[in-house]
């Protein structure tokens, strides 16, 4: 029935290897779309700079290692803080000034910022990648019986899941998260209760950006540190966000990991379609459920 | 020329006709003073930007994937001219048809999402096109003499531009503006806004395709780099610099940016940085664009131009009032 499809049952190691690649990609999709969703929720801005900030995270780790000799583990803390502070400055001095205009301008402004950052790094480092070695603690691989699992990749999956769940917990289960969700619904009323919404907006943007930078540091040993790494991934992440819907934090996480896996599986069964499968799914979701799988109709 | 004067429903003032005649005369003699290929490129980009502006400035829809129509039409036209040996006008027609068809498919998906989502969807859709096999083609054209080609391009531009102006001032254009200002109200007045938006999208895509096809013939070359999303960003920037929702704005923006790229060709990747900086500056300080600021003076009246499309929500007003009441700076 499906003779026309070049499908063959792949050998098990290849299958699991691609599944792992898919899961890793999914981890980054999830972390990035999570940040985008949180920022969009409160600021109503599609943060086009997200990819550039992810790239900045990876480059911060690389700078720390090559200029200051600071290794992976401290970089995991320092890089997100540094990029987060940059994000806070962007929000405080640029985004706030256009907060009351059409959302269109926020998109254009962050798009311009992304071009600035990317242009500078492309000029300095070309479009080739800089290698970043895996920290010694996580080198090597373990045999799971059906496949070899490199330790670093296992760490990325576990750590990103932990980060995603922690973010989910903060937003859905803590008082701070309750304020945040309330401010997303009705900022005026929340301010009337004496909560400093502008500061919350600033911190949310900083936090979302820091999340992107953290993803960047974690991606550095896997994908190499390249000026183009951000713009390569951001379009896919936008598609993931459209599929998942902006409404839900859990939606962003699930659709990130899920679409990574689907992409990986497509690479096993029908490699030609692997780069377009997410966009095909997006088209289908838009036809069937325009608000996205987890989105609320607004 | 002036969006202000015409949109008030009066007949075009004399100033408009004077400006129009002057600009066309300028375009006719321009190739004797400037490098014609540069002018042709600028005209193609200007038509592309005008098509984009039809969607953003008049229907309030930001398409971040417009390069898909421009680039694919360019590719198809080049392919048709070289491989199928079609004459230039048929090759362009082929490009336009493909762009319109793509516009129909993308448009029917994208209008399912409103406002800000629309931009994301169009952006993501565009990337899907990159699965088309890469490569480049050389189109062979009859119009080998540069000057002949120039006037051909000028004619194509004036045709496309005239079509856009006609659309903007037609009842169709007025409905688009109504949708931009207040879609629920347009719906309650009985307009099928989805159909209007889709038609605007297809029209805009077809005209972007016209620009792309013509560009392929000008350069006798088409590559899929024209489909890249930085190309989409460029057309957004041209429209923003010239003035969103003004008729001549995209043309001014296109000429300005094409000139800038010419002079900055040696600057390498810093061109991207400079473009980004212009984006940021325009958004922060210069949202009306060049034509939006200059047009009222050029028309001999000091009326403020119509502000660019802004969705002001009631809540946000309240935020501002609260902010003022609280006596703190923004």
Q: Look up residue A145 and give its two tokens.
A: 């019986």
pLDDT tens-place values along chain A, 298 residues long: 455 555 555 677 778 888 888 999 999 999 999 999 888 888 888 898 999 999 999 999 999 999 998 889 999 999 999 999 999 999 999 998 888 888 788 888 999 999 999 989 988 888 788 888 888 888 888 877 777 788 899 999 999 999 999 999 998 899 988 998 888 888 889 999 998 999 999 999 999 999 999 999 999 999 889 988 888 788 888 888 888 877 678 888 999 999 999 988 888 887 777 777 888 888 888 888 777 777 764 4
- Between A103, A119, A276, which is nearest B131 by CB? A276
**For residue B163, is pLDDT > 60?**
yes
Query: In chain B, how many domains are there?
Result: 1
Angle of helix A151-173 versus helix A197-223 axis, rounded to 10: 170
What are the pLDDT digits (tens) for B165-210? 999 999 999 999 998 888 899 999 999 988 999 999 999 999 999 9
Interface predicted TM-score of the whole assembly (ipTM), two decimals: 0.82
The mean predicted confidence, pLDDT, of chain B is 77
pLDDT at A231: 83
Give the sign of the dihedral formed by CA B235, CA B238, CA B243, CA B248. negative
B157 in Cβ contact with B31 (< 8 Å):
no
Residue for token pair 């301010």: A191
Residue for token pair 């946000």: B316
What are the pLDDT digits (tens) for B253-291? 999 998 988 888 777 778 888 889 998 999 898 888 888
As a whole number, mean pLDDT of residues B40-52 equals 92
**For residue B4, is pLDDT > 70?**
no
Q: Does A11 touch chain B (CB under 8 A)?
A: no
Please, which residues bridge with residue B147 across strands?
Answer: none
pLDDT at B123: 56
pLDDT at A58: 95
Q: Does residue B33 sit in helix, strand or coil?
A: coil
**pLDDT tier for residue B330 given thresholds of 50, 70 and 90:** very low
Q: Look up residue A175 and give its two tokens.
A: 């008082």
In whole angstroms, give the CA distance from residue B37 to residue B218.
Answer: 7
**For residue B30, is pLDDT > 90?**
no
- Report residue B204 CA to chain centroid gap: 8
| CATH number (domain holding residue B247) | 1.10.3470
Look at chain B and count its residues: 330
pLDDT at A181: 87
Comparing C-alpha atoms, which of A128, A94, A100 is closest to residue A113?
A: A94
pLDDT at A293: 79
- When mean pLDDT is compared across A57-66, B3-12, B140-149, the lowest value belongs to B3-12
**For residue B329, is pLDDT > 60?**
no
Q: How far apart are the first and last CA of chain B?
A: 36
In whole angstroms, give the CA distance from residue B183 to residue B170.
Answer: 18
Print the domain residue range for B71.
3-326
pLDDT at B268: 72
- On chain A, the residues whose CB falls within 8 A of the CB of B280 are 94, 109, 112-113, 116
Comparing C-alpha atoms, which of B291, B88, B116 is closest to residue A107?
A: B116
CB atoms within 10 A of CB B30: 17
pLDDT at A165: 92
**For residue B327, is pLDDT > 90?**
no
Q: How far apart are the first and last CA of chain A?
A: 42
- Between A112, A192, A283, which is nearest B280 by CB? A112
What are the pLDDT digits (tens) for B308-326? 554 444 444 454 555 555 5
Q: Which of residues 28-87 of A touch B (CB under 8 A)?
A: 40, 44, 46
Per-residue CA distances from A74 to A62, A65, A70, A137, A214 (Å): 12, 10, 7, 14, 12
The alpha helices in B54-170, defined as continuous H runs, are 59, 67-82, 88-110, 115-128, 146-169
Q: DSSP string spanning B234-278?
A: HHHHHHHHH-TT-SSHHHHHHHHHHHHHHHTGGGTTHHHHHHHHH
Phi, psi of B138 (to 5 degrees): -110, 120
In whole angstroms, give the CA distance from residue B169 to residue B174.
Answer: 7
State whether A191 and B322 contact (CB < 8 Å). Answer: yes
- On chain B, the residues whose CB falls within 8 A of the CB of A101 are 287, 310
- Between A99, A238, A290, which is nearest B123 by CB? A238
Q: Look up residue B193 and give its two tokens.
A: 């806004």
- When mean pLDDT is compared across A66-70, B83-87, B161-165, the lowest value belongs to B83-87
């Amino acid at each position: 029935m499906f003779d026309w499809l070049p499908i063959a049952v792949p050998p098990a190691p290849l299958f699991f290897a691609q599944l792992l690649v898919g899961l890793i990609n999914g981890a980054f999709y999830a972390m990035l779309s999570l940040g985008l969703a949180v920022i969009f929720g409160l600021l109503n801005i599609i943060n086009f700079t997200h990819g550039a900030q992810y790239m900045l995270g990876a480059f911060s780790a690389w700078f720390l290692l090559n200029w200051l000799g600071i290794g992976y583990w401290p970089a995991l803390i320092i890089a997100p803080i540094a990029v987060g502070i940059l994000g806070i400055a962007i929000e405080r001095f640029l985004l706030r000034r256009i907060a009351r205009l059409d959302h269109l301008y926020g998109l254009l402004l962050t798009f311009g910022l992304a071009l600035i950052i990317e242009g500078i790094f492309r000029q300095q480092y070309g479009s080739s990648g800089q290698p970043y070695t895996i920290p010694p603690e996580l080198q090597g691989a373990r045999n799971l019986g059906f496949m070899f699992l490199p330790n670093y990749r296992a760490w990325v999956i576990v750590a990103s899941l932990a980060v995603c769940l922690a973010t989910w917990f903060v937003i859905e289960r803590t008082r701070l998260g309750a304020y945040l969700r309330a401010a997303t619904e009705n900022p005026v009323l929340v301010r009337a209760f004496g909560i400093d919404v502008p500061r919350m907006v600033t911190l949310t943007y900083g936090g979302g950006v820091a999340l992107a930078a953290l993803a960047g540091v974690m991606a550095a040993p896997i994908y190499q540190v390249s000026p183009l790494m951000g713009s390569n991934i951001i379009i896919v992440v936008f598609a993931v966000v459209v599929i998942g819907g902006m409404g839900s934090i859990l939606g962003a996480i699930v659709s990130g990991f899920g679409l990574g896996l689907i992409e990986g599986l497509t690479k096993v069964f029908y490699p030609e379609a692997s780069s377009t499968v997410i966009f095909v799914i997006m088209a289908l979701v838009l036809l069937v459920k325009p608000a996205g799988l987890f989105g609320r109709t607004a | 020329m002036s969006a202000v004067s015409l949109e008030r429903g009066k007949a075009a003032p004399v100033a408009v006709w004077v400006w129009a005649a002057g600009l066309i005369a300028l375009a006719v003699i321009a190739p004797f003073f400037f490098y014609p290929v540069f002018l042709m490129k600028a005209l193609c980009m200007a038509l592309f930007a005008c098509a984009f502006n039809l969607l953003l400035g008049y229907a309030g829809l930001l398409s971040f994937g417009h390069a898909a129509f421009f680039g694919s039409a360019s590719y198809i036209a080049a392919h048709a001219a070289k491989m199928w040996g079609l004459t230039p006008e048929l090759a362009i027609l082929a490009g336009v048809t493909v762009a319109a068809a793509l516009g129909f498919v993308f448009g029917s998906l994208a209008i399912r999402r409103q406002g800000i989502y629309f931009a994301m969807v169009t952006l993501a859709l565009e990337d899907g096109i990159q699965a088309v096999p890469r490569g480049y083609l050389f189109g062979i054209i009859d119009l080998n003499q540069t000057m002949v080609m120039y006037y051909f391009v000028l004619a194509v531009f004036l045709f496309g531009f005239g079509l856009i102006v006609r659309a903007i001032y037609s009842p169709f254009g007025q409905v688009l503006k109504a949708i931009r200002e207040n879609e629920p109200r347009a719906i309650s007045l009985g307009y099928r806004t989805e159909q209007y938006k889709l038609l605007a999208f297809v029209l805009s895509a077809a005209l972007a395709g016209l620009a792309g096809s013509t560009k392929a013939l000008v350069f006798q070359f088409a590559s899929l780099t024209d489909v890249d999303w930085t190309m989409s960003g460029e057309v957004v920037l041209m429209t923003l610099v010239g003035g969103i929702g003004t008729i001549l704005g995209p043309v001014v923006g296109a000429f300005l940016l094409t000139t800038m790229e010419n002079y900055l060709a040696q600057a390498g990747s810093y061109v991207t940085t400079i473009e980004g900086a212009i984006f940021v500056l325009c958004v922060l300080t210069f949202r009306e664009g060049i034509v939006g600021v200059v047009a009222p003076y050029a028309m001999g009246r000091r009326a403020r131009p119509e502000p660019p499309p802004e969705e002001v929500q009631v809540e946000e007003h309240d935020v501002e009032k609260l902010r003022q009441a609280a006596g703190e700076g923004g």
